[in-house]
Copies of this chain bind each other. A is one copy, B any other.
Amino acid sequence: MAGRKTTIADVAQRAGVSKGLVSFALNGRPGVSPETRERILSVAHDMGWQPDARARALSTNRSLAYGLVLSRNPSVLSSDPFFPTFISGVERAISGPGHVLVLSVVESLERELETYRSLLESGRVDGVFLTDVRRDDPRLALVQELSAHAVVLGHPRVDAGFPTLSVSDEAALDALVAHLVALGHHELGLVVGPSHMLHAERWRDSLVAAATTRGLRTPRIVETDFSAEMGLAATRELLEGRTPPTAIVYANDHMALAGLGHARRAGIEVPRELSIVGYGDSDMTRYAYPSLTTVSVDVAEWGYRAAQLLMSQVEGGTDDVGQPPPARLEVRESTASVPERPVGP
């Protein structure tokens, strides 16, 4: 009894009109008399008609789908709150109009590029999100070559012709440095992300700039891949130096938490002997002890706007959805006055 799915032709036959008219009626286009439209709609409803996404995609040359490809390695990905949050924002924007997100996780940059290419060339998606933009990122060239739609997440330093959406965090980072300076800190340590990622580079530059304009020495910098493991190693490296920093700022929260764990294990009291600062304001920063001072970024809103921007790009509109709200400093328990004597052996 299940039978075949009811198609637009079934509806047309039952309503006694042509396929084309049914299509017009269902899409609310003019040229259908009110009574007929009414009848078609009710027949379609009675028959439980649902549009076939594939057929529609083929004839309109629109999939109503958007692609996101993640190339972070699984272990970083698992503890990174960015993507789940970002995605939930994206969904909030696209699910209303019935659009859909195609997500891909890959293990290498080559596969990442291939995946973007195949998603776009096969017409599976109408546009893509580009996150973690790198220097000379081949994805920008690819998207341009395919003259596809894209939204870049990151900072406008990227000179590609794509709309860009970024959370401005200079002010928050400057406020953070001001906060640390007010607490008496002179020696900052920075645990940064991979320098080939533009946003990691920019984050570092913002902090260095804030530090120097506020009269601090150039911070010690250790580069990581954003993983908790490297966050831990970076912490150790910083603390074992000749003049260990009295405050360490991490490029994400879980590296900061790993650093916090290391400090405690090494018998260093946080924040009395060492101040620790995260980035992102993920859920766990609130529940750690001490709770983590961090920089709050409204990632869901970022995703929401990025999706809106991408949709409007595809529609050909030039809607300006506006930039997401700037980052905010969130002072919690992990930062305090600098200890009287430097930490260390």
**Is A166 located at the chain interface by the 8 A CB criterion?**
no
**Is A210 located at the chain interface by the 8 A CB criterion?**
no
Contact yes or no, A84 B77, CB < 8 A: yes
**Is A325 located at the chain interface by the 8 A CB criterion?**
no
**Is A252 located at the chain interface by the 8 A CB criterion?**
no
Contact yes or no, A54 B50, CB < 8 A: no
Q: Tell me, in angstroms, the Cα distance from A39 to B119 when the chains sit together.
A: 27
How many copies altogether?
A: 2
Chain A, interface size: which category? 35 or more
Given known pairs A54-B63, A257-B288, A261-B289, the reply for A105 and B77 (CB within 8 Å) is: no
**Is A264 located at the chain interface by the 8 A CB criterion?**
yes
Q: Tell me, in angstroms, the Cα distance from A58 to B54 when the chains sit together.
A: 5
The A interface is mostly helix, strand or loop, or mixed, namely helix
- Shortest CB–CB separation between residue A7 and chain B, in angstroms? 11
Question: Which A residues are within 8 Å of any B CB, using their own CB?
Answer: 2, 5, 50-55, 57-58, 63, 65, 74-75, 77-81, 83-85, 87-88, 91-92, 95, 98, 100-107, 111, 115, 118-119, 121-124, 147, 227-229, 231-232, 254, 257-258, 260-262, 264-265, 282-284, 286-289, 291, 300
